[in-house]
Amino acid sequence: MKQVYFDNSATTPMRDEVIHAMAHVMKEGYGNPSSSHAFGRKAKVLVEKARKTIAHYFNVSASEIIFTSGGTEADNMILRSTVKDLGVSHIITSKIEHHAVLHTVEALQKEFKIEVSYVTLNEQGDIDFNQLERLLEKDGKALVSLMHVNNEIGNILDLKRVGVLCNANNALFHTDAVQSVGHYKMDLKALHVDFLAASAHKFHGPKGVGFAFIKKDSGLSPLIIGGEQERGMRAGTESIHNIVGLEEAIKLAYDNLDAESNYVKSLKTYFINTITKEIPGVQFNGQSQSIEQSTYTLVNVCLPFSAEKSGMLLFQLDLKGIACSKGSACQSGSSQNSHVLTEILNEADLLKPSIRFSFSIYNTKEEIDYVISMLKALKE
């Protein structure tokens, strides 16, 4: 049976070069970076080299990069510390953020009695900048937490515009950039971003490692307490092989970005054109039909299927060897609709099946043809 993987927004396959780099470190660089002997020093060099490499691509200081287990930990550390240690009393976010942000904000609201505001969204899922500006004028120290690229509909946030607004109103700005790091270049110094979260497995790196960008002298304190690793910001022995895998993945992503992003853009364009032609009545959720306003890595489609065809659609596609999703993998066990689509779709469209197809350099147009032919067959 043909196997097609179109769930790259959930996770990506690791590059061979990343696997090779990690295997080498597991065999040759197994010292504890905190140890003072030669084995430890060798491991420490690997960690600090990776930190400098990542800092280079984002135009920040190496000391502003803190390694974490991934985006969720980075989001939690940043959000919790801004409230607990920096005196943030008002968090401004949206209802289509990843649950790593939404659930953390809800917990902080209960624990610290902070004010939480949700910026208004239009039917495409874009934020209302005028309302955001009004929210920033409220009394109290504010933190804006808005994701750069939405993981379900792909909408791209204008980071610079938000950063300028936050800077003008003495507010802090945190962005969950899990879906954009490795896919878009970002000069964090020019963008007025204070905090950012990233995860390696979204750009062909290993699972279980990511990083937080924390602007110098921010005053944040660690979420995980123990030793003095990561400049005291994240206790625990560093996962050296994962960190080196992250470094290799980010180097390959950015050094080959133009050619690889153009290839993936061609896949998205081909998917949109083909499914529009072959399945009349298909709709695109959010801005996902756009190459400019939505990430080039995904399309979220609302299919004109009958109710009886809708219920088992993902299961039927899985039987045909096709991996895709109805939204975030973190909520795949839920029977409820996607919280993102619930915010932007009307009741009639919510009854139809919406599926996210997400692409990578390892996909082909032939795979797209196969998937759309299977969708046509299942519709009939």
Indicate which residue of 166, 302, 324, 330 is catalytic. Answer: 330
- Mark whether 324 is an active-site residue: no
First to last CA, the chain: 21
Per the DSSP assignment, residues forming a β-bridge with 325 are 356
**Phi/psi at 102 (nearest 5 deg)?**
-60, -50
Instruction: Tell which phi-psi region holds residue 173, choosing left (phi > 0), alpha (psi between -120 and 50) or beta.
Output: beta
DSSP string covering 43-94:
HHHHHHHHHHHHHHHHTS-GGGEEEESSHHHHHHHHHHHHHHTT---EEEE-
Rounded to an integer, what is the distance from CA 235 to the centroid of its chain? Answer: 24
Alpha helices by DSSP H, listed for the chain, are 16-28, 38-58, 71-84, 99-112, 129-136, 159-168, 188-191, 240-255, 257-278, 307-310, 313-319, 339-344, 347-350, 365-379
Contacts of 334 (CB under 8 A, 6+ apart): none
As to burial, measured by CB atoms within 10 angstroms (0-12 exposed, 13-18 middle, 19+ buried), residue 333 is exposed
Q: Identify residue 289 by its one-letter amino acid code.
A: Q
**Catalytic residue ranges:** 330
